[in-house]
Amino acid sequence: MTARQRLLLGLLGILVALAVWEAVGLYFGPALFAAPSVMARDFVDLLEEGVMLRELVTSLRQMSLGFLLACAVGMPLGIAMGRSPVADAIFHPWVSMFVVTSTAALVPLLILILGTGFAFRATIVFLAAVWYIVLTTYNGARGIDRALINVAGSFCASRTQTFWKVLLPALFPYLITGARIGLVHAIRAMVMAEMFVIVGYGGLIHRSGLDIETGSLLSLLFTIMLASIAANGLLRYVGRRLAPWYEARTT
């Protein structure tokens, strides 16, 4: 299937979904499920007010710290676990436990410890993203072809040279993929944490959910979806620009 065919089919799917949504929305009414035509009107109103974009930018900026910390911790830890049996034995049980633990279940405990400020939200984002980054990097590090290491050794490369010239380029697709997966969970965690304490963009969603119409709520959800897709696409673009082999390894 060509890229043009994929694009046309994607557009067709969107148009069909919008048509079904419009019909369902008109049937149930804006109090239960606003139609796209109603949502578009409320979306424009939110843009003109400026509150939506201001809260979104603020929340994403605060989320970025927790996400960057998750990358800074998760990537080296995943590499260490994938290349060292000792590190794998020590950390794998903890990673396995935390990756299946709902971040929302930790919210009451974290509020008691950290309060409801920035530290709480950054910690929630960190915990939601770091384990997926660790596991993706870990599986990439375990799957590196041993022949690559042997070739570096045959040229008398040191351990440091082998890491920077062989291991890191081979791991790059997994690092970007882990970051993309972690980013999705980070944005979800940001909204969830803010809804708990009713601040930021998540608080805006919470308050909109109390309105008698769902147009504003759906507009906010649609906006965070677009922001997530744009951020994920940006990471993919960075991956292609920094390493041309990224796309081939992840296709």
The residue range of the domain holding 139 is 41-250
CA angle 30, 35, 41 (to 5 degrees): 85
CA angle 57, 59, 64 (to 5 degrees): 95
Q: What is the pLDDT of residues 1-53, one digit of tens each?
A: 777 778 788 888 888 888 888 888 888 888 888 888 888 888 888 888 888 88
Q: What is the pLDDT of residues 124-179, one digit of tens each?
A: 999 999 999 999 999 888 877 676 676 666 666 677 777 777 787 788 888 888 99
- CB atoms near residue 40 (< 10 Å): 15
Give the contacts of 158 (CB within 8 A, at least 6 positions apart).
Answer: none
Six-digit token string for 52: 């939506």
Please indicate, yes or no, if residue 4 is contained in any of the structural domains. Answer: no
Give the contacts of 30 (CB within 8 A, at least 6 positions apart).
Answer: 38, 213, 214, 215
Q: Which stretches does DSSP call E strand in the chain?
A: none
pLDDT of residue 195 exceeding 70? yes
Mean pLDDT of the chain: 85
CATH of the domain at 238: 1.10.3720.10
Please indicate, yes or no, if residue 29 is contained in any of the structural domains. Answer: no
Please indicate, yes or no, if residue 211 is contained in any of the structural domains. Answer: yes
Residue 208 CB burial class (10 angstroms; 0-12, 13-18, ≥19)? buried
Six-digit token string for 149: 């290491």
Residue 251 confidence class, pLDDT cut points 50, 70, 90: low
What pLDDT score does 36 carry?
86
Please indicate, yes or no, if residue 5 is contained in any of the structural domains. Answer: no
Q: Compute the distance between CA of residue 122 and CA of residue 174 in angstroms, rounded to an integer.
A: 24
Helix H or strand E segment including 243: none
Tally of domains in the chain:
1
Please indicate, yes or no, if residue 190 is contained in any of the structural domains. Answer: yes
What pLDDT score does 104 carry?
86
Q: What is the pLDDT of residues 56-99, one digit of tens each?
A: 998 998 899 999 999 999 999 999 998 889 999 999 999 989 88
Please indicate, yes or no, if residue 1 is contained in any of the structural domains. Answer: no
What pLDDT score does 150 carry?
64
Please indicate, yes or no, if residue 64 is contained in any of the structural domains. Answer: yes
Please indicate, yes or no, if residue 222 is contained in any of the structural domains. Answer: yes
First vs last C-alpha separation in the chain: 14
Residue 111 CB burial class (10 angstroms; 0-12, 13-18, ≥19)? middle
| Nearest to 142, CA basis, from 82, 102, 198, 99 | 82
